[in-house]
Structure 1
Amino acid sequence: MDVRMWFSICFIPYHMQDAATVREKVLFANAISIMEVDVDTKDVAVLIGHGDSHGVLSLDYDSQNKYVYFPRYNAMDIVRFPYPSPSRTLEHVVNTSANPVGVAVDSSNDHVYWVTPYYYSDSNKVSRCKSDGTNVVVFTSLNQYTFMIRLDLTNSWMYLGYYTTGISKSRFDLTDISMIKNFTYGGFSHVSSMDIDLSEQRLYWMTYYDGIQSVNVDGSNVTTIISINSQTALGVIGNYIYYTGNNNQLLMTRKSQGSTPTVLYNDTSYIRGIYGFYLTGM
């Protein structure tokens, strides 16, 4: 079977109580662990082993209960761990019927969503459960190429990324669904990662040949941010885009066109799922 990888980045800022006590952190998954890097100092620490031989392709955060969620591809499940916390252990949430790749958390309604790869016959499905793994519900999306999911919790919109066809917008139960961006790529120009900037109401994605692009959530104003030959992971927070290059580099660049990227960290293995946030009280 031809297995291709796609990756995600999700950045969720905490309320900044005192700028002097705020540190920007980025969490990411390498071949064996969930890691943490301090953007200012570039200090790197191991948080917890993820226990999946294939790796972790996405992360999301329950901001109310302070849990990081991620799907384990080979283990075929969704797990979580408390963060930030001095005591971290993996907690099993739910088993999945196929290898999960994308995850998203609706803290207000105590829901966890996930999607499966494009090469499964039921890959047009979006699944949902409670945070304790109960009440599993399955919805049907527009086509069989889902690879990523993002939620706008404030406005109750779900965004699904389709590996080679585009991005759809719908309600959380997949009603009122429509395509807001259609892709015309072929070969290696598939879209492998997607994130949403909630403050600017723009979606960002990356392709191998066309680099990092963005669009308004209504489908208008498509912009190319940077042209790079990469198809790994990206995410946005504030004025910056964070993404992986050469599979094992974590980089950052401004969202404005023509900015020069900065390398934050070089890993000895691949970097996949990534999550960033502002940590207060340090």
Structure 2
Amino acid sequence: MEFDFDTSSVNVLLDHGSYHVYAIDYDYQNRYMYFPRYNYHDIVRFAYPSSNTTLQTVVQSSSYPTGIAVDSANDHLYWVDEYRDQLSRCNLDGSNVTVLSTFINPFVIRLDVTKRWMYIVERYTDILKSRFDLSDRRTITNLTSKPVSCMDIDTEENRLYWINQDGDMKSCKDDGSDVKIILSTHDRRYYYAIHVVGSNIYYGNANQLLMVNKSQGSKPTVLYNVTHSIDSIYVFNQSGMLTTIYNHQ
């Protein structure tokens, strides 16, 4: 689904079936939206913006993919597999699939392409970062028995943002220092969707799409209500457009 910030209108882009989608990422160079279908064991893409949203299969039989990340500059797609505990990579067209490493319950992956760091959430233990060639792996923060299923990075301010199962939205510098609580929802559940753009954080809380300023103490604004839970968000920002693409079940 597509939510337009200017008009608050919602457009259904495609119906991909009853499959959980825990991540969305965009290839700005080739203009494709990528997402994994957890229960269908694949990663697919469609052209965006485009009137033709026909799905193309990129990776098939990848067990249970959750997080994905696009590196357009190097023609790479990265993803993590919760069941196999693997980090894998392929070309953007799905060729040259390679298993790179193993992790402990990996669920989310984000890339800082400029500085060549990848950030990975090990859902029940840590948030860590690693060089693209896996030569340097560092723990950013321990999750202290509070599972995390969503995380995003702000490469301009060099900060990470995530929401734990207790409903605490937290932030820290990309070296793990200066940990802050941005807000507390006081709603204990798994949070799957978050995306940071500019001074705002966009996130899903059950069946609500919300926005909050990155400053501590800011109050969230409800942008849209859906009938089912929101599992992933991608904020598309190009040529004056600011559009949220989100998945719900």
TM-score of the superposed pair, with normalisation by structure 1: 0.81
* Residue 281 of structure 1, CA deviation: 6.0
Aligned partners of 2:194 and 2:232 also within 8 Å: no
2:95 aligned counterpart, secondary structure: coil
1:108 aligned counterpart, secondary structure: helix
Aligned to 2:15: 49
- Counterpart-to-counterpart distance in 1, 2:19 and 2:46: 19
Q: Structure 1 residues 196 and 281 mapped into 2: Cα distance closer, same or farther (>3 Å)?
A: closer
Give the percent of matched residue pairs that are identical in Structure 1 and Structure 2.
Answer: 53
Aligned pair partner of 1:92 in 33, 57, 77: 57
- Counterpart-to-counterpart distance in 2, 1:77 and 1:57: 12
Letter of the structure 1 residue corresponding to residue 222 of structure 2 = V
Aligned partners of 1:50 and 1:56 also within 8 Å: no
1:37 aligned counterpart, secondary structure: strand
Q: Structure 1: which 4+ aligned runs deviate by more than 4 Å?
A: none
Q: Structure 1 residues 166 and 91 mapped into 2: Cα distance closer, same or farther (>3 Å)?
A: same
Aligned to 2:246: none
Q: Where in structure 2 are the equivalents of 1:218-229 lying within 5 Å?
A: 218-228=175-185, 229=187
Aligned partners of 1:115 and 1:149 also within 8 Å: yes
Q: Higher strand fraction: Structure 1 or Structure 2?
A: 2
Aligned partners of 1:127 and 1:139 also within 8 Å: yes
Aligned pair partner of 1:252 in 202, 208, 211: 211
* Residue 87 of structure 1, CA deviation: 2.0
Note the alpha carbon deviations across 1:168-217, whole angstroms, 9 max, x for none.
111123221111211212xxx31111000111110111012251001111
Aligned to 1:133: 94
Q: Structure 1 residues 96 and 102 mapped into 2: Cα distance closer, same or farther (>3 Å)?
A: farther
- Counterpart-to-counterpart distance in 2, 1:177 and 1:81: 33
- Counterpart-to-counterpart distance in 2, 1:255 and 1:76: 35
Aligned partners of 1:168 and 1:178 also within 8 Å: yes
Aligned to 1:208: 165
Q: Structure 1 residues 96 and 112 mapped into 2: Cα distance closer, same or farther (>3 Å)?
A: farther
Higher relative contact order (CA 8 A, sep 6+): 1
Aligned to 2:155: 198
Aligned to 1:28: none
Aligned to 2:72: 107
Give the unaligned 5+ runs of structure 2. 242-249
- Counterpart-to-counterpart distance in 2, 1:182 and 1:248: 28
* Residue 75 of structure 1, CA deviation: 1.2
Q: Say whether 1:274 aligns with 2:217.
A: no
Q: Tell me the C-alpha RMSD between the 2 structures.
A: 1.4
Aligned residues: 238
- Counterpart-to-counterpart distance in 2, 1:210 and 1:88: 34
- Counterpart-to-counterpart distance in 1, 2:44 and 2:98: 18
Q: Structure 1 residues 256 and 281 mapped into 2: Cα distance closer, same or farther (>3 Å)?
A: closer
- Counterpart-to-counterpart distance in 2, 1:60 and 1:37: 16
2:13 aligned counterpart, secondary structure: strand
* Residue 279 of structure 1, CA deviation: 3.6
Q: Where in structure 2 are the equivalents of 1:20-35 lying within 5 Å?
A: 35=1
- Counterpart-to-counterpart distance in 1, 2:167 and 2:62: 33
- Counterpart-to-counterpart distance in 2, 1:266 and 1:210: 19
TM-score of the superposed pair, with normalisation by structure 2: 0.91
